[in-house]
Structure 1
């Protein structure tokens, strides 16, 4: 049960892109696809349980009516979720998925995804959920928490789908990213897709050697791989490279575990999550 592509569906504008990217990955990996809708048991204060807000002068019948209102609201949210899941299932079938699965769960998103981690091969999320602010650089609170909590690959997607044709891999020579290169080389995910290995740092022999190793590993596995070593700020350099080479998807390591690495890598990961306008695949 650990082979499912898990796609989180909500009422945001990213839902259709989540469906399409998840279907694309499911087909590339020949893996089953599951759409997940999570009903949050702790909605925002302005949308939550109103029965505790009456204060002085409350009457029993008002409390009963408010309780009924909360119950109706919960039922409507559940039904809306079912409608979204069915729409996602139909869209995936239209994308060529024979038997997409749907699941609806009650609970908090990060906790629910952690519970389902053993069933998940790769997770697909929209950059912003339906409750997130619409500012372009706002990062939905759930996304960063999910990225830190889960140990599965996570694909964060923008609002529109485009089948990737050129992929960039932000390679730093770390153990995590060396393992990622070997995993990608053995995976059908990026078959017949041009792969660019990008290292950010002074163009010295050590970085060139590490870049050559990554490129050779991918080329030896039958990929069309290119290497680049650039100096500069990591976030700016990666964005510039992706723009110059019309990159459709960026792969990078997620948050590190040591305190120093978490500060360095984590800050870059968060910055890229906020500013990326192409899909971002996070690997642990």
Structure 2
């Protein structure tokens, strides 16, 4: 049995990069299938002023969505025709809905691939990202919009002693051995004991190098990214944190900062 990767396509300008990232993730994880999902946003989910004529506007929105989905399908077809690994199966699907299709499909796969959030994302794109990261329960590869390089050669793990960090790392342990070396980044508060390399890596036979980052008044998310840049990291693995499980759109400080500023792929799990 091999893994399955789901890639969620929303923005046309990010589609080709996401598909190539999904293909690379499939190669790293030994996945045999990439499912590609494009979600039709129902036309009623848009703010309409009282003065607007509803029927023509809805027709226009329907036409826009049909054009967007058709353009995404064209990008998919071009990518699928050039997939290098002949054993990799690809599948396209397009369904209408909001977050539910992503949640339902995501819970049936091993990894989900989405685009990194951007300020100019429309509400459906933001909704798709949050559904993937906080609702599927799967490791999510978050890809910068312009990222077009391989990843997985130089990997870092942002570690903290809790279940989310372990949940993010465990699915990746099967292929982390190919990263030489693997770096583990740990924050250290003044006056606390110097941390040791987490046992999870030795237990799984993964060689790793520990880097301790002092915690202080500086933004820790920036410290993580600076260290990743210094080490020439091409994939950062970390847990995804929210202030409250009841308000999952409110990201934790480090998660929010890294998502806003990272210029490399992130493998995250809530």
TM-score (norm 2): 0.79
Distance change >3 Å, CA 183–CA 37, structure 1 → 2? closer
CA contact (8 A) 2:2 2:30 kept: no
**Aligned match of 2:252:** 266
Structure 1: gaps (5+ residues): 55-62, 134-138
Distance change >3 Å, CA 146–CA 119, structure 1 → 2? closer
Distance change >3 Å, CA 92–CA 227, structure 1 → 2? farther
Tell me the alpha carbon deviations over residues 204-223 of structure 1, each in whole angstroms, 9 at most, x when there is no partner: 785523x25244345x2xx4
| Cα distance in 2 between the residues matched to 1:130 and 1:181 | 28
Say whether residues 1:127 and 2:110 are aligned partners: no
CA contact (8 A) 1:170 1:238 kept: yes
Tell me the alpha carbon deviations over residues 42-96 of structure 1, each in whole angstroms, 9 at most, x when there is no partner: 4533xx6x89724xxxxxxxx7xx44x6346524522541342242233144132
Residue of 178, 196, 208 corresponding to 2:195: 208
Larger Cα-atom Rg: 1
| Cα distance in 2 between the residues matched to 1:141 and 1:130 | 13
**Cα distance, 1:142 vs. partner?**
4.3
Structure 2: gaps (5+ residues): none
Say whether residues 1:276 and 2:262 are aligned partners: yes
Residue of 166, 172, 178 corresponding to 1:178: 166
State the number of aligned residues: 256
Tell me the alpha carbon deviations over residues 250-276 of structure 1, each in whole angstroms, 9 at most, x when there is no partner: 1110125867xx899822212211111
**Aligned match of 2:150:** 163
Say whether residues 1:114 and 2:103 are aligned partners: yes
| Cα distance in 2 between the residues matched to 1:184 and 1:249 | 11
| Cα distance in 2 between the residues matched to 1:183 and 1:161 | 23
CA contact (8 A) 2:147 2:264 kept: no
**Aligned match of 1:153:** 139
CA contact (8 A) 1:11 1:129 kept: no
